[in-house]
Structure 1
Amino acid sequence: MKKHSIGIIANPQSGRDIRRLVAHASVFDNEEKVNIVERLLATWNTMGLSSVLFMPDSYNIVYRAAERIRNLRVNLEQLDMKPLFTDKDTLMAASLMQGNVDAIVVIGGDGTNRAAIKGLNPKDSTPIVSISTGTNNVFPSMVEATIAALAAWTMTSEIIDQKQVTNQEKFLKISWDGNEDIALIDIAFTKERFVGSRAVWDPKSISAVFCSRARPENVGFSSLLGFLCPSNQYDPYGSYAILDSSGESILFPMAPGKIERVQVGEYGHFEENKPFTFVLRDGTVALDGEREIEVFRPTEFAIELSCQGPLTVNVPKALELGVEEGLFKN
Structure 2
Amino acid sequence: MILEHGDDLPVVPGSAIGVIPNPMSGRDIRRIVSQASVFPNTEKTSMVLRILRAAGTLGVERVLLSTDTFGIAAGVQREMVRLTTAKSTAHLRWPKVEFLELDRPTGSAADTTAYARIMAEQCSAAVVLLGGDGTMRAAVPGLGRTPMLALSTGTNNAFPIMLEATVAGMAVGMIAIGAVDAPETRCKMLHVEITRASGRVDHEVALVDACVSTAMDVGSRALWTGTSLRELYCTFGEPHGIGLSSIVGRLLPTGRADDHGAAVMLTDPATAAHTVLAPLAPGLLQPVGVNGVGELVPDRPHPVRLDRGTVAVDGEREVEFGPQDRVTVTLRHDGPRVIDVPAALRASTAHHTLLAHQ
TM-score between the two structures when normalised by the length of structure 2: 0.86
Shift of residue 6, structure 1, vs aligned partner:
0.6
Matched, 1:328 2:329: no
Whichever residue aligns with residue 244 of structure 2, its letter is: F
3-state DSSP of counterpart to 2:343:
helix
- Structure 1 residue ranges, 4+ long, deviating more than 3 angstroms after superposition: none
From 107, 112, 128, the equivalent of 1:90 is 112
Matched, 1:204 2:227: yes
Matched, 1:254 2:275: no
3-state DSSP of counterpart to 1:187:
strand
Aligned alpha-carbon RMSD (Å): 1.8
3-state DSSP of counterpart to 1:98:
helix
Contact 2:226–2:289 under 8 Å retained in 1: no
In structure 2, the partner of 1:76 is 97
Cα 1:299/1:267, change in 2 over 3 Å: farther
Whichever residue aligns with residue 189 of structure 2, its letter is: F
CA distance in 2, matches of 1:67, 1:48: 22
CA distance in 2, matches of 1:149, 1:39: 7
Cα 1:135/1:291, change in 2 over 3 Å: closer
Q: Superposition pairs for residues 1-330 of structure 1, below 5 Å?
A: 3-69=14-80, 70-71=83-84, 73-82=94-103, 83-101=105-123, 102-121=125-144, 125-162=145-182, 165-177=183-195, 178-244=201-267, 245-329=271-355
Unaligned runs of 5+ in 1: none
Shift of residue 327, structure 1, vs aligned partner:
2.6
Shift of residue 279, structure 1, vs aligned partner:
3.4
CA distance in 2, matches of 1:205, 1:199: 13
Q: Deviations over 1:58-109 (max 9, x none)?
A: 2241331232132364111122422211100000111111132211000000
Bigger drift between 51-60 and 146-155 goes to 51-60
In structure 1, the partner of 2:9 is none
3-state DSSP of counterpart to 2:43:
helix
Contact 2:64–2:119 under 8 Å retained in 1: yes
Contact 2:301–2:329 under 8 Å retained in 1: yes
CA distance in 2, matches of 1:303, 1:2: 45
Bigger drift between 223-232 and 240-249 goes to 240-249
Whichever residue aligns with residue 52 of structure 1, its letter is: V
Whichever residue aligns with residue 175 of structure 2, its letter is: M
3-state DSSP of counterpart to 1:66:
helix
Shift of residue 135, structure 1, vs aligned partner:
4.9
* Matched pairs, number: 325
Unaligned runs of 5+ in 2: 1-11, 85-92, 196-200
Q: Deviations over 1:128-161 (max 9, x none)?
A: 1111014521110000000000011111133423
Shift of residue 120, structure 1, vs aligned partner:
2.3
Contact 2:130–2:153 under 8 Å retained in 1: yes
- Give identity over the alignment, percent: 35
Shift of residue 246, structure 1, vs aligned partner:
3.6
Bigger drift between 54-63 and 14-23 goes to 54-63
Contact 2:189–2:206 under 8 Å retained in 1: yes
Whichever residue aligns with residue 310 of structure 1, its letter is: P
TM-score between the two structures when normalised by the length of structure 1: 0.93
Whichever residue aligns with residue 99 of structure 1, its letter is: E
CA distance in 2, matches of 1:58, 1:293: 28
